[in-house]
Structure 1
Amino acid sequence: MSSFPKFRLLLATAALTLTTATATLAQTAPQKIGYTNVDYVLSQMPESKQIESQLKDYSTQLENQLKAKYQEYQTKGEAYQKGAATMAEPVRADKEKELQSLQQSIQEFQRNAEASVQQKQQALLKPVLDKLQKNIDAVADENGYAYVLNSDAGYGTTPILLHGPKDGDISDLVLKKMGITPGAAPAAAPTAAKPAAPAATPAATSTKTKTKSKK
């Protein structure tokens, strides 16, 4: 079973960043700027484990269905291999067409399943992200931060904050605001399993080869 990319939530970065430092900031009076590691805070929230569990169950259902479809394809492919030599031409052509259709169905199901898991993840995350944003806003207001940046770097991306003083990090303040005792280090972020198509079998390969040779 493969895993989705780490629970980074790249799309959430924009929503959780109140603003970025711009040229206009330099032209105004100095204002207090803070930053937080979104991934770290999310990983510490108990909701993360709940979401991970729900996504795992949801993905398992889809994966089991995918395995059942593949098992049907494999069984019929093996039966075709054993009897192809003695089949009448119309029967053999029909069996090959059926196998091709099953293979396409498996590929389409896999694509739809992966998209479905992503949509499920986004739906489960929305209330958590809303809660996080609300607490970031509260901590910023209470501590006089005019701006809060995101110091987390997702896959292949650059964090909005490249350098800042330690006392500008409000991550632990946000966690305490939510009643969470900050961990000593960022916990592993939750991941969601995605349905993966089983590897092709000799039956599938042979069917494809025979079909090509007929043409």
Structure 2
Amino acid sequence: MRSTSNILFGVILSVASLVGFVQAAESAPAKLGVVNVGLLLEQAPQAKQASSNLEKEFGPQQNELKAAAKDLEQKQQDYQKNKMLLTETQKATKEREITMLTREVQRKQNDIQELVNIRRNEELAKLQGLVNQAIKEIGKQQEFDLILYEGIAYTNNRLDVTQAVLDYLKKLNNDKRAGFNQ
């Protein structure tokens, strides 16, 4: 336990020394910022557009899956309603049909979910790259010395540059749309 405290104390001293060194070297206080990437990934117009694109891309498959599930449910209800009137052979045939349809619906559901996850991860990777680019651009424009991702135990709100990055992403999105409309 003591060695962990010593390491933590050493890290704190190192960061403090680094900030002090930067301040002494430039005769100006270091400009620090913090950004909430989770909020950006949730609220950026590019994230909303990616989500909308995924819905459009996979909407037909989702509708097909819903129709198959509804068909399965109807067959199960019909079987339950009429099973007293069926012969043993007819019952066995209907049960096999329902079992096969159940497996098919589950397989389709798993396949679609896997494809959606793959595409969502692709879109998320693109968005993360764009967010990182936006953070760097805001850092240069506003002359930050250091911008950290949120995940810090405490930060003062005046260090939070999340809104500036979000505004930049919105402007970038609007500029992109304006370019397409010309």
TM-score category by the smaller chain?
Answer: 0.5 to 0.7
Larger relative helix fraction: 2
Residue 114 (structure 1) aligns with: 113
Structure 1 letter corresponding to 2:109: Q
Residue 169 (structure 1) aligns with: 160
Q: Distance in 1 between matches of 2:170 and 2:46?
A: 13
Structure 2 letter corresponding to 1:45: A
| Change in 2 beyond 3 A, CA 1:78/1:175 | closer
Aligned partner of residue 148 in structure 1, secondary structure: strand
Structure 2 letter corresponding to 1:98: E
Cα displacement (A) at 1:82: 4.6
| Change in 2 beyond 3 A, CA 1:176/1:69 | closer
- Runs of 5+ in structure 1 lacking a partner? 1-20, 151-159, 182-215
Moved over 6 A (4+): none
Cα displacement (A) at 1:177: 4.4
Residue 26 (structure 1) aligns with: 13
| Change in 2 beyond 3 A, CA 1:86/1:167 | closer
- Percentage of identical aligned residues: 21
Equivalent pairs, count: 152
| Change in 2 beyond 3 A, CA 1:179/1:22 | farther
Residue 146 (structure 2) aligns with: 146
- Runs of 5+ in structure 2 lacking a partner? 1-7, 23-29, 173-182
| Change in 2 beyond 3 A, CA 1:34/1:68 | same
Contact 1:140 1:148 in 2 (8 A): no
Aligned partner of residue 29 in structure 1, secondary structure: helix
Instruction: Give the TM-score normalised by the residue count of structure 2.
Output: 0.66
Instruction: Kindly report the root-mean-square deviation, in angstroms, between the aligned alpha carbons of the 2 structures.
Output: 3.0
Cα displacement (A) at 1:179: 6.2
| Change in 2 beyond 3 A, CA 1:108/1:148 | same
| Change in 2 beyond 3 A, CA 1:60/1:26 | same
